[in-house]
């Protein structure tokens, strides 16, 4: 299994922390872990590799360091997240460009538009400038995009349409839209949909996403967690306080694959195999011989 989106170098995974795993069709909290132990457990649970995209400009440095140390387990994507663009300076364009020239970069992102918090027009404009700049960067490098689009589909689609010839594939990460938006991103732009914890939330949150998963061909779906964020619905026997503190991890991927299999009437093994192939195709990640 491949986690196509996790933030392992993020500060929530520094020191010791409680984290979520999926055992016997239930979510459990491991009370005490650290980043190294989590990565070892991910490997022993059949996670073959993962992709870590940038959040802010500084995060690029941390991701590149952790990726180098991980010996092919963590693939880095370079960029500047739409919610962090607001604080970015002019010199940050050069910094991101310099990071993108380093070895082993497989994508540009997270980039896109997020209107959930940013209601001011000048903030949205800054997001659009960074989005367009990162599309150009990805195009110049021939790399796919990791898109973060939240409550901003209309503007995002406009920008993508203007840049159709510059697109080299990629993913709409943490997709939570309906069947219509799914069709536009996949059929019109050839993008995959990153399916994660939202599919395991309360019915109100996941209803329209379920429709999208049912109607979208599995060749366009990839698995992700967005750990430490985007947790599944809290189990009844875990207190709210405990659940809030626990980090989401790649260990919940089997639950996402099972849910997709159930919705599409497919075998779980096929969902895992095809979504893994999709990640390898889109991000050009080679299969290691021992990883079968």
Which residues, 42 to 61, sit near Zn ion by CB under 5 A?
none
Q: Closest approach of Cβ 230 to Zn ion, in Å?
A: 8
Task: Classify residue 235 by its DSSP letter.
Answer: P
Nearer to Zn ion (CB atom), residue 55 or residue 213: 55
Shortest distance in whole angstroms from residue 174 CB to Zn ion: 7
Q: What residues between 121 and 160 interact with Zn ion by CB under 5 A? A: none
Task: Kindly state the smallest distance separating residue 262's Cβ from Zn ion, in Å.
Answer: 25
Judged by CB, which is closer to Zn ion: 114, or 210? 114
Burial degree of 233 (CB within 10 A; 0-12, 13-18, 19+): middle
User: Could you please report the per-residue DSSP string of the chain?
Assistant: -EES-B-TTSGGGSS-EEEEEEETTEEEEEEEE-HHHHHHHHHHTT--EEEE--SSTTHHHHHHHHHHHTTSSEEEEE---GGGGGG--THHHHHHHHHHTSTT--EEEEEEEETTT--SHHHHHHHHHHHHHHHHHHHHHT--EEEEEES-HHHHHHHHHHTGGG---EEETT----HHHHHIIIIIT--EEEE-GGGGS-HHHHHHHHHHHHHS-GGGEEE---BTS---PPPTTS-HHHHHHSBP-GGGHHHHHHHHHHHHT--HHHHHHHHHHHHHHHHTPPPPTT--
> Quick one: 118 or 226, whose CB is closer to Zn ion?
226
# residues contacting Zn ion (CB under 5 A): 1
Q: Which x/- pattern over 207-246 shows residues binding Zn ion (rule: CB under 5 A)?
A: -------------------x--------------------
Q: How far is the CB of 110 from Zn ion (least distance, A)?
A: 6
Instruction: Please report whether residue 3 would count as binding Zn ion according to CB under 5 A.
Output: no
Report the residue closest to Zn ion, judged by CB: 226
Nearer to Zn ion, 84 or 206 (CB): 84
Q: How far is the CB of 229 from Zn ion (least distance, A)?
A: 7
> Minimum CB separation from Zn ion for residue 54, in Å?
9
Least distance to Zn ion from the beta carbon of 207, Å? 23
CB-wise, 3 or 226, nearer to Zn ion?
A: 226
Which residue number, 229 or 266, has a Cβ lying nearer to Zn ion? Answer: 229
For residues 178 to 207, the per-residue mask of contacts with Zn ion, x marking binding by CB under 5 A and - elsewhere, is ------------------------------
Q: Which is nearer to Zn ion, 84 or 259 (CB)?
A: 84
- How many degrees, rounded to 5, is the angle at CA 143 between CA 141 and CA 148? 125
Which residues of this chain interact with Zn ion, rule CB under 5 A? 226
């Amino acid at each position: 299994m491949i986690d196509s989106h996790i933030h392992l170098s993020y500060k929530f995974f520094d020191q010791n922390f409680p984290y979520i795993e999926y055992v016997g069709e239930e979510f459990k909290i491991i009370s005490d872990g650290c980043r190294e132990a989590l990565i070892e457990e991910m490997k022993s649970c059949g996670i073959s590799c993962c992709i870590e995209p940038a959040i802010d400009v500084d995060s690029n440095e941390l991701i590149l360091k952790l990726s180098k140390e991980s010996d092919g387990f963590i693939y880095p994507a370079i960029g500047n997240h739409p919610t962090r663009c607001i604080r970015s300076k002019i010199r940050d364009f050069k910094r991101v460009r310099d990071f993108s020239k380093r070895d082993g970069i497989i994508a540009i992102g997270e980039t896109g538009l997020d209107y959930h918090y940013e209601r001011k027009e000048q903030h949205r404009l800054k997001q659009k400038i960074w989005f367009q700049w990162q599309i150009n960067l990805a195009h110049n490098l021939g790399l796919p995009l990791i898109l973060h689009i939240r409550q901003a589909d209309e503007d995002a689609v406009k920008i993508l349409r203007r840049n159709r010839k510059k697109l080299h594939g990629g993913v709409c990460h943490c997709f939570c839209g309906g069947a219509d938006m799914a069709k536009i991103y996949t059929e019109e732009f050839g993008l995959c949909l990153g399916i994660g914890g939202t599919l395991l939330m309360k019915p109100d949150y996941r209803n329209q996403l379920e429709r999208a998963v049912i109607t979208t061909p599995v060749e366009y779906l990839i698995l992700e967690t967005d750990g430490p964020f985007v947790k599944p619905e809290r189990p009844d026997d875990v207190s709210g306080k405990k659940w809030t503190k626990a980090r989401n991890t790649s260990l919940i991927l089997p639950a996402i694959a099972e849910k997709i299999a159930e919705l599409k009437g497919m075998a779980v093994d096929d969902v895992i195999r095809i979504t893994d192939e999709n990640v390898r195709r889109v991000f050009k990640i080679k299969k290691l011989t021992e990883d079968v």
